[in-house]
Amino acid sequence: MNSFALADCSTVEAALSQLKDGAVVKAGGVDLLDRMKNGTDTPTRLVNIRNIAELRGIQSTPQGLTIGALTTLAEVADDPAIRSQYTVLSDACGQAATPHIRNMATLGGNLLQQLQCWYYRSPDFQCLRKGKEICFAFSGLNQYHAIMDYSGCPSVAPSSGAVALLALDASVELTSAAKGKRTVAIRDFYLHPDANPNRFHVMEADELLTAIHIPKPAPGTRSAYQKYGEKESHDWANADAGILLEMDGSLCRRAVVAMGAASPVVRRSREAEAALAGKPVTPETARAAGQASMTGAMPLSMNAYKVQLFPVAIYRTILLAAGQMDRDPSAAG
């Protein structure tokens, strides 16, 4: 790890004043310190925002929720209002990593973590995401990579929180000293590598992610999240699904099917949603939605198993959201 200076900030204003000359923000530091240890990132100054009290907490309003960016995954997962009304987010945060990490990692940090591709994370490979012209995953070890929506880089979206927040139509609040605050929908927050391989999101270098806003779900809404990995606990997702169902009795008025580990950015499967909308939620319609989610899938040489795994994950999570199935004991987390 390289040597660096540390700026310890207790206010948003102080932190914003330090965001210059390549400074990097540290909150929980879980992902950042990993990248520094393996040489992916070599910042000369860290801006520690861990002690900014105004960036923590969960506020409920008639319009929905506002969650401070420094609220930990454990705090989000354990909040009674989130567990009852925004279950997909509680599930996603509660199944991330290990209990120790959930008590350190923040929701904002989860959204900003960088991809887990081992070629990107290794200092021995200078890949497309590092400004070069080659992606080693196409001809290398690609069992954890994308099966949809990729061209130049088949890395997958790493954030479980983003899958849940996409299902909830959430947005993030970005704050800078020069321009003040702006709000960006989660669906527009992440940059596809085909558009810009050197950036992961639209946040500028002088901006801080300060809050997450979630609109209040429509009456009759049910939701759930599950992920599947090689291990049944504490594993990265090989397939994950965030499901939101707006129900009228047994009839699904509207569905959102969000997927994380399928593509370079979190995505919605419009085909799966169409298979549910206007129909009763049954094992048959849930299975049809799972199959529809694989429309356009293009597996790589070592990850065709995902084409079979995702329909199962989506099928089971739809039924979990609808209250027709218990949480899958073979799911990770």
Verify that 182 and 225 share a domain, yes or no. no
Verify that 69 and 197 share a domain, yes or no. yes
Phi, psi of 326 (to 5 degrees): -75, 165
Verify that 89 and 179 share a domain, yes or no. yes
Span 204-227, mean pLDDT? 97
Q: Does 296 score more than 90 pLDDT?
A: yes
Q: Give the Cα separation of 289 and 295 in Å (integer).
A: 10
Give me the CATH number covering residue 181.
3.30.465.10
Q: For residue 172, is it within any domain?
A: yes
Give pLDDT tens digits for 310-322: 999 999 999 999 9
Q: For residue 291, is it within any domain?
A: yes
Give me the CATH number covering residue 301.
3.30.390.50
Q: For residue 281, is it within any domain?
A: yes
Q: Residue 3 belongs to what domain range?
A: 1-53
More confident residue, 37 or 233: 37
User: Binning pLDDT at 50, 70 and 90, where does residue 2 land?
Assistant: confident
More confident residue, 123 or 257: 257
**What's the confidence (pLDDT) of residue 154?**
98
Verify that 59 and 201 share a domain, yes or no. yes
Span 292-304, mean pLDDT? 98
Verify that 272 and 175 share a domain, yes or no. no
Verify that 177 and 287 share a domain, yes or no. no
In the chain, which ranges are E strands? 5-8, 24-26, 45-48, 58-61, 64-68, 171-176, 180-185, 207-215, 221-228, 239-248, 251-259, 267-268
Verify that 41 and 3 share a domain, yes or no. yes
**What's the confidence (pLDDT) of residue 231?**
84
Verify that 172 and 285 share a domain, yes or no. no
Verify that 62 and 190 share a domain, yes or no. yes
Distances (CA, A) of 61 to 173, 197, 215: 16, 38, 9
Q: For residue 122, is it within any domain?
A: no
Q: Does 39 score more than 90 pLDDT?
A: no
Q: Give the Cα separation of 187 and 192 in Å (integer).
A: 11
Q: For residue 182, is it within any domain?
A: yes
Residue spans of alpha helices (H) in the chain:
12-18, 30-37, 73-78, 80-85, 87-94, 99-102, 107-112, 118-121, 160-167, 186-189, 270-276, 283-292, 305-321
330 in Cβ contact with 170 (< 8 Å): no
Give me the CATH number covering residue 46.
3.30.43.10
Q: For residue 104, is it within any domain?
A: yes
Distances (CA, A) of 207 to 8, 25, 180, 293, 313: 17, 10, 9, 35, 36
Q: For residue 74, is it within any domain?
A: yes
**What's the confidence (pLDDT) of residue 273?**
98
Span 187-196, mean pLDDT? 96
Please give the model's pTM, rounded to 2 decimal places.
0.96
Q: For residue 139, is it within any domain?
A: no
Domain count of the chain? 3
Q: Which of 215, 234, 266 is the last residue of a domain?
A: 215
Verify that 61 and 208 share a domain, yes or no. yes
Give pLDDT tens digits for 91-110: 999 999 899 999 999 999 99
Verify that 200 and 312 share a domain, yes or no. no
Verify that 238 and 305 share a domain, yes or no. yes
